[in-house]
């Protein structure tokens, strides 16, 4: 999205439909953001302007990107709110963000994000601040919108249950690196990386026998300033051997997923 | 029933909310007639969505908010109208762990001072050396090391701060430990460490726990019994294994279906089965059954009559006009 602070050193490539995003002209990037690539955030309160009516915040996107008149844009805003399954949408247009519940605010954020029919939506922990009941509603809304619009979704979350309901593919990050990536079924059923497996074992599940022990991951995730030689997960890994502390594992294909581990788990020994 | 330990009888906590200039203040019924009892050594979970009154209920038990009506009976003695001063000597036996681990620790005190403070207030008979020994033992018991005793809270991670909060609460060997969302602010990989610690402490100390959480999977692990709260009212109370395997109240069912599970075969279908709508404003709760506006089984009677909390089997109570009908339907 090009939203990082100026002190961020970004290298590599990021292409959307063949166009390079990194280092793109700020004006070109601004045209792209909201129009083709949209984003919703964890906290729907701080990502909405508190002093502007909800309807105008949605309409603004259309006025800026599609050069619509404010009158047409407000009419479209109503439709967008309805698509985001906001109840009582006409009245909501004239309300301010503080008058809405957390779930409603996130729906407004989704309406804004969808205004210009983006090809891709980035959702950064979109339901972490919400109750489980509202979380399920927002997730099924996102799922429906993806299907109807053929929109790609990058869902950033810490909750593997949320992943299971929505994602086709999963990328597991640890200390800034990809440790495992693959299809959702493969990754959640037979994880190859010890970190993925440990995450699954450490989560209390509502459908698993209580007698099963909860196996915590010892220690804590490394701070952003910490530099760990070798595999970044080795200080917390039960399967670490001597070379894990010295050689960094390169990602390689193991049993259908991409795994950065010297000693990936064989499918047979994994928890089901 | 062992009513001698902790009993709440028709507890109500109302807050007065200003309606605006020249408008009369309105009543927010945060807790509206909740009765419950906790036995010695028992862990009771209080679950529900944000704004259902679960934290207020926990705070009312500890007399951290004023009780509007009803009784809190602690070890045979009503405590809801005690003054701050009368309450103080009772506090050593009832302690609390808060949600935000860093915000609940004084940033200018060392970890040793924080954990020793309850002893300085309640155990004036202890010498400085005895105090230090107890603090060091307690820190080790919650998984911190003795040499961290002179450090300040900001030097610790969230999980470690929560361990300090638990050490501070447990050092007086309380009879009741209230935990208000103790793992909600922690990273998933750290949550399991704290859950396991609480499980160990409960087993070793025999302390009763009142565990307030919106995380049903955590409650299921730690609690023998669960109370489901909705808009300040009890919907269902049941032993954990019954509540999670065969929920009776439509709200409990919806809540359980909303909890995501990391299973790509089951989870997509669960998403569709979860609760609809949102919690109504507690300032203007629905008539009759407060849950009826989101209930798929609501009938006319639900809007007219408040369902009483009925006995529904062994140690199980439920407030729903249609529970019997619905449970037989579910069984067939």
- DSSP state for residue B89 in the 8-state scheme: G
pLDDT over 90 at B87, yes or no: yes
In A, minimum Cα distance to B241 occurs at: A210
Q: Are residues A86 and A182 in the same domain?
A: no
Chain B contacts of A199, Cβ < 8 Å?
188-189
With residue B14 as reference, give the H or E element that holds it: strand B6-17
Examine residue A237 and state whether it is found in any structural domain, yes or no.
yes
In A, minimum Cα distance to B261 occurs at: A161
Number of domains comprising chain A: 2
Distance from CA of A90 to the nearest CA of B (A): 18
Q: Are residues A123 and A174 in the same domain?
A: no
Most confident listed range (A25-29, A176-180, B268-272, B275-279): A176-180
Map residue B108 onto helix, strand or coil: coil
Among B26, B29, B36, smallest CA distance to B6 is for: B36
Distance from CA of A124 to the nearest CA of B (A): 16
* pLDDT at residue number A8: 86
Chain A contacts of B253, Cβ < 8 Å?
none
DSSP percent split of chain B into helix, strand, coil, nearest 5: 40, 20, 40
Q: How far apart are CA B257 and CA B259, in angstroms?
A: 6
Q: Are residues A234 and A114 in the same domain?
A: no
pLDDT over 70 at B267, yes or no: yes
Q: Are residues A194 and A211 in the same domain?
A: yes
Q: Are residues A128 and A29 in the same domain?
A: yes
Say whether A143 and B271 touch across the interface (CB within 8 A). yes
User: For residue B2, what pLDDT band results from cuts at 50, 70 and 90?
Assistant: very low
Q: How far apart are CA B52 and CA B252, in angstroms?
A: 13
Mean pLDDT, residues A155-163:
93
pLDDT over 50 at B307, yes or no: yes
Mutate to test the interface with A, among B203, B260, B269 (most CBs of A within 10 A): B260
A69 by Cβ neighbours in 10 Å (0-12 / 13-18 / 19+) ranks as exposed
Every domain of chain B and the residues it spans: 6-223, 247-332
Q: Are residues A183 and A152 in the same domain?
A: no
Examine residue A1 and state whether it is found in any structural domain, yes or no.
no
Say whether B256 and A206 touch across the interface (CB within 8 A). yes
Query: Which residue among A119, A150, A165 closes a domain?
Result: A165
A51 by Cβ neighbours in 10 Å (0-12 / 13-18 / 19+) ranks as exposed
Strand B6-17 relative to strand A252-254, pairing:
unpaired
Q: Are residues A126 and A246 in the same domain?
A: no
Q: What is the pTM of this model?
A: 0.88
Query: Which residue among A165, A191, A225 closes a domain?
Result: A165
Structure tokens at B293: 């506006």
Q: Are residues A150 and A212 in the same domain?
A: no
- Count of beta carbons in the 10 Å neighbourhood of residue B100: 15
Instruction: Give the mean pLDDT of chain A.
Output: 90
Among B301, B307, B304, smallest CA distance to B320 is for: B307
With residue B196 as reference, give the H or E element that holds it: helix B188-205
* pLDDT at residue number A190: 93
As a whole number of Å, the end-to-end CA separation of chain A is: 37
Distance of CA B303 to the CA centre of its chain: 29
A9 by Cβ neighbours in 10 Å (0-12 / 13-18 / 19+) ranks as exposed
Mean pLDDT, residues B302-324:
94
pLDDT over 80 at A145, yes or no: yes
- Count of beta carbons in the 10 Å neighbourhood of residue B316: 17
Q: Are residues A37 and A118 in the same domain?
A: yes
* pLDDT at residue number B330: 62
Examine residue A206 and state whether it is found in any structural domain, yes or no.
yes
Among A199, A163, A171, smallest CA distance to B264 is for: A163
Q: How far apart are CA B65 and CA B60, in angstroms?
A: 5
Mean pLDDT, residues A36-57:
90
The answer regarding whether domain B6-223 maps to CATH 3.40.50.170 reads: no
Q: How many CB pairs under 8 A join A and B?
A: 142
User: For residue A270, what pLDDT band results from cuts at 50, 70 and 90?
Assistant: very low
Mean pLDDT, residues B250-269:
92
**Angle ∠(A178,A182,A186) on CA atoms, nearest 5:** 130
Say whether A132 and B221 touch across the interface (CB within 8 A). no
Q: Are residues A29 and A118 in the same domain?
A: yes
Chain A contacts of B190, Cβ < 8 Å?
216-217, 220
pLDDT over 50 at B28, yes or no: yes
Q: How far apart are CA B34 and CA B57, in angstroms?
A: 9
* pLDDT at residue number A271: 47
Instruction: Give residue-wise pLDDT tens across range A86-104.
Output: 888 999 999 999 988 888 9
Say whether A205 and B264 touch across the interface (CB within 8 A). no
With residue B163 as reference, give the H or E element that holds it: helix B158-170
Query: Which residue among A112, A145, A165 closes a domain?
Result: A165
- Residue B65 touches chain A, beta carbons under 8 Å: no
Say whether A161 and B259 touch across the interface (CB within 8 A). yes
Q: How far apart are CA B36 and CA B72, in angstroms?
A: 10
**Residue from the list B217, B254, B270 with its beta carbon closest to the beta carbon of A205:** B217
Q: Are residues A154 and A19 in the same domain?
A: yes
pLDDT over 90 at B167, yes or no: yes
With helix as H, strand as E and coil as C, how does chain A read? CCCCCCCCCCCCCCEECCEECCCCCHHHHHHHECCCEEEECCCCCCCCCCCCCHHHHHHHHHHHHHCCCHHHHHHHHHHHHHHCCCCCHHHHCCCCHHHCCHHHHHHHHHHHHHCCCCCEEEEECCCCCCCHHHHHHHHHHHHHHHHHHCCEEEEECCCHHHHHHHCCEEEEEECCEEEEEEEHHHHHHCCCCHHHHHHHHHCCCCCCCCCCCCCCCCCCCCCCCCCCCCCCCHHHCCCCCHHHHCCCCCCEEECCEEECCCCCCCHHHCCC
Mutate to test the interface with A, among B144, B163, B256, B262 (most CBs of A within 10 A): B262
Examine residue A71 and state whether it is found in any structural domain, yes or no.
yes
Q: How far apart are CA B307 and CA B285, in angstroms?
A: 14
| β-strand partners of B43 | B209
* pLDDT at residue number A85: 87
Q: How far apart are CA A122 and CA A33, in angstroms?
A: 11
With residue B235 as reference, give the H or E element that holds it: strand B233-239
Q: How far apart are CA B322 and CA B14, in angstroms?
A: 29
Range of the domain at A19: 15-165
Q: Are residues A193 and A133 in the same domain?
A: no
Name every residue whose Cβ is closer than 8 Å to that of residue A117 and which is 6 or more positions away in sequence: A149, A151
Chain A contacts of B45, Cβ < 8 Å?
none
- Spatial contact of A190 and A180, defined as CB atoms under 8 Å apart: no
Examine residue A260 and state whether it is found in any structural domain, yes or no.
yes
Distance from CA of A155 to the nearest CA of B (A): 15
Examine residue A9 and state whether it is found in any structural domain, yes or no.
no
Q: Phi/psi of residue B217, each to 5°?
A: -65, -35
Map residue B18 onto helix, strand or coil: coil
pLDDT over 90 at B21, yes or no: no
Among B70, B22, B112, B101, smallest CA distance to B233 is for: B70
Residue A67 sits in a domain whose CATH number is 3.40.50.300
Examine residue A137 and state whether it is found in any structural domain, yes or no.
yes
Among B309, B307, B306, smallest CA distance to B288 is for: B306
Q: Complex ipTM, two decimals? A: 0.82
């Amino acid at each position: 999205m090009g939203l990082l602070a100026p002190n961020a050193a970004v290298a590599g490539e990021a292409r959307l439909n063949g166009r390079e995003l990194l280092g793109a002209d700020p004006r070109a990037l601004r045209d792209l953001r909201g129009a083709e690539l949209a984003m919703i955030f964890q906290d729907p309160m701080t990502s909405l302007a508190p002093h502007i009516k909800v309807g105008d915040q949605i309409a603004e996107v259309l006025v800026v990107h599609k050069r619509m008149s404010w009158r047409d844009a407000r009419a479209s805003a109503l439709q967008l709110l309805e698509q985001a399954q906001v109840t009582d949408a006409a009245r909501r247009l004239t309300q301010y963000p503080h008058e809405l519940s957390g779930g409603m605010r996130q729906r407004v954020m989704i309406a804004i994000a969808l205004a210009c029919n983006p090809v891709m939506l980035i959702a950064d922990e979109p339901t972490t601040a919400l109750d489980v009941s509202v979380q399920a509603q927002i997730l099924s809304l996102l799922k429906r919108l993806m299907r109807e619009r053929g929109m790609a979704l990058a869902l950033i979350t810490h909750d593997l249950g949320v992943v299971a309901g929505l994602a086709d593919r999963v990328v597991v990050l640890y200390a800034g690196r990809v440790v495992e990536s693959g299809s959702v079924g493969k990754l959640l059923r037979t994880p190859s990386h010890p970190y993925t497996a440990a995450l699954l074992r450490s989560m209390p599940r509502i459908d698993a026998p209580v007698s099963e022990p909860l196996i915590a991951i010892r220690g804590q995730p490394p701070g952003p300033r910490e530099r760990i030689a070798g595999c970044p997960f080795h200080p917390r890994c039960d399967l670490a051997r001597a070379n894990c502390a010295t050689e960094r594992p390169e990602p390689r294909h193991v049993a259908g997923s991409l795994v950065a581990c010297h000693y990936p788990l064989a499918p047979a020994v994994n928890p089901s | 029933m062992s009513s001698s330990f902790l009993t709440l009888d028709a507890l109500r906590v109302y807050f007065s909310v200003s309606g605006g200039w020249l408008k009369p203040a309105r009543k927010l019924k945060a807790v509206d007639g909740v009765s419950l009892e906790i036995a010695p050594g028992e862990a009771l979970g209080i679950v529900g969505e944000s704004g259902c009154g679960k934290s207020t209920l926990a705070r009312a038990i500890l007399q951290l908010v004023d009780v509007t009506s009803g009784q809190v009976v602690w070890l045979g003695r009503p405590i809801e109208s005690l003054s701050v001063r009368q309450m103080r000597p009772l506090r050593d036996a009832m302690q609390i762990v808060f949600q935000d681990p860093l915000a609940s620790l004084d940033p200018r005190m060392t970890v040793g001072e924080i954990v020793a403070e309850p002893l300085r207030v309640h155990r004036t008979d202890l010498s400085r050396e005895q105090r230090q020994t107890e603090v060091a033992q307690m820190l080790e018991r919650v998984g911190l090391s003795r040499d961290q005793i002179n450090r300040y809270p900001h030097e610790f991670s969230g999980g470690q701060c929560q361990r300090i909060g638990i050490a501070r609460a447990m050092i007086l060997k309380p009879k009741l430990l209230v935990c208000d969302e103790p793992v909600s602010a922690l990273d998933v990989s750290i949550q399991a460490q704290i859950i396991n610690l609480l499980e160990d402490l409960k087993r070793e100390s025999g302390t009763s726990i009142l565990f307030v959480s919106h995380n049903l999977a955590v409650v299921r692990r730690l609690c023998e019994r669960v109370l489901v709260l909705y808009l300040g009212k009890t919907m269902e109370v049941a032993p954990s294994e019954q509540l999670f395997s065969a929920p009776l109240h439509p709200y409990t069912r919806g809540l359980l279906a909303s909890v995501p599970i990391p299973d790509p075969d089951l989870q997509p279908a669960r998403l569709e089965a979860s609760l609809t709508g949102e919690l109504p404003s507690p300032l203007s709760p629905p008539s009759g059954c407060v849950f009826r506006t989101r209930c798929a089984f609501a009938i006319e009677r639900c809007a007219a009559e408040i369902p009483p909390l009925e006995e529904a089997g062994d140690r199980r109570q439920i407030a729903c006009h249609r529970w019997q009908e619905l449970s037989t339907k579910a069984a067939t």
